[in-house]
């Protein structure tokens, strides 16, 4: 049985690293990979103890701009609990109902994403845009008007461990620059 792999997202140059107001905590009723695009509802969770935990939903037609991107650290120790301790980051995802970190992609931000972050294969397309009904980006020939969009800067590779210590596998990853928030 094959193990499902998930998106590797590397925030290379992201304004949210330096501007706290571009980050939030959220939760979703679906599993989400890092690099997933979400819409944050205006309300916060009304569950006791969750404070300012925003409710995340899948982008829909008419609301494809102003989206947020999931960017939860793969390894973290909180309250004595470990998460994401598998050596391969392709096995990491954010389970439904658990708090996640999200950031607001801004124009000129650069992120790197693996193939799992897209609804289709790249082919000759050089842009990726938000699409109705999915948290993933879709490769397109030009940015979609009114949608969070990214331009391909360069395709490259990231090494991930496989099977045993010291072994590594090169996985395609795309360096993208935000061109429309």
pLDDT in tens, 68-102: 999 998 766 666 555 666 677 888 899 999 899 99
1 pLDDT higher than 60: no
Number of domains in the chain: 1
This prediction's pTM = 0.90
Q: Which residue range is the domain that position 36 belongs to?
A: 9-180
Specify the pLDDT at position 11. Answer: 95
Q: Residue 26's pLDDT band (boundaries 50, 70, 90)?
A: very high
32 pLDDT higher than 90: yes
Is residue 116 helix, strand or coil? Answer: helix
Alpha-carbon distance 14 to 111, whole Å? 7
Distance in Å from the first CA to the final CA of the chain: 39
Alpha-carbon distance 138 to 72, whole Å? 22
Give a yes or no: residue 3 inside a domain. no
Q: Are the C-beta atoms of residues 78 and 86 closer than 8 Å to each other?
A: no
Give a yes or no: residue 88 inside a domain. yes
Give a yes or no: residue 1 inside a domain. no
Q: Residue 123's pLDDT band (boundaries 50, 70, 90)?
A: very high
Alpha-carbon distance 14 to 107, whole Å? 9
Give a yes or no: residue 2 inside a domain. no
34 pLDDT higher than 60: yes
Give a yes or no: residue 15 inside a domain. yes
Specify the pLDDT at position 118. Answer: 98
9-13 and 23-28 strand pairing: unpaired
Q: Which two tokens stand for residue 58?
A: 């899948």
Alpha-carbon distance 81 to 99, whole Å? 14
Q: Are the C-beta atoms of residues 107 and 181 closer than 8 Å to each other?
A: yes
Sign of CA dihedral 140, 6, 134, 129: negative
Specify the pLDDT at position 90. Answer: 84
Other beta carbons within 10 Å of 80: 5
Q: Residue 8's pLDDT band (boundaries 50, 70, 90)?
A: very high
Phi/psi-derived region of residue 62, left when phi > 0, alpha when psi is between -120 and 50, beta in every other case: left
Specify the pLDDT at position 43. Answer: 66
The owner of tokens 């949608």 is 147
169 pLDDT higher than 80: yes
Bigger pLDDT: 86 or 181?
181
Alpha-carbon distance 176 to 57, whole Å? 23
């Amino acid at each position: 049985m094959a193990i499902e792999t998930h998106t590797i997202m590397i925030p290379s140059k992201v304004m949210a690293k330096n501007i706290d107001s571009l980050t939030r905590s959220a939760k979703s009723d679906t599993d989400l990979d890092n690099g997933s695009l979400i819409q944050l509802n205006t309300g916060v969770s009304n569950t006791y103890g969750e404070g300012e935990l925003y409710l995340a939903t899948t982008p829909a037609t008419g609301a494809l701009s102003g989206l947020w991107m999931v960017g939860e650290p793969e390894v973290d120790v909180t309250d004595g609990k470990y998460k994401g301790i598998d050596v391969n980051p392709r096995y990491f995802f954010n389970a439904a109902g658990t708090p996640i970190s999200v950031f607001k992609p801004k124009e000129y931000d650069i992120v790197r994403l693996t193939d799992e972050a897209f609804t289709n294969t790249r082919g000759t397309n050089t842009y990726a845009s938000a699409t109705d009904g999915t948290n993933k980006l879709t490769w397109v020939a030009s940015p979609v008007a009114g949608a969070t969009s990214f331009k391909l800067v360069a395709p490259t590779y990231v090494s991930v461990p496989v099977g045993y210590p010291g072994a590594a596998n090169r996985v395609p990853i795309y360096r993208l620059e935000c061109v429309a928030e």
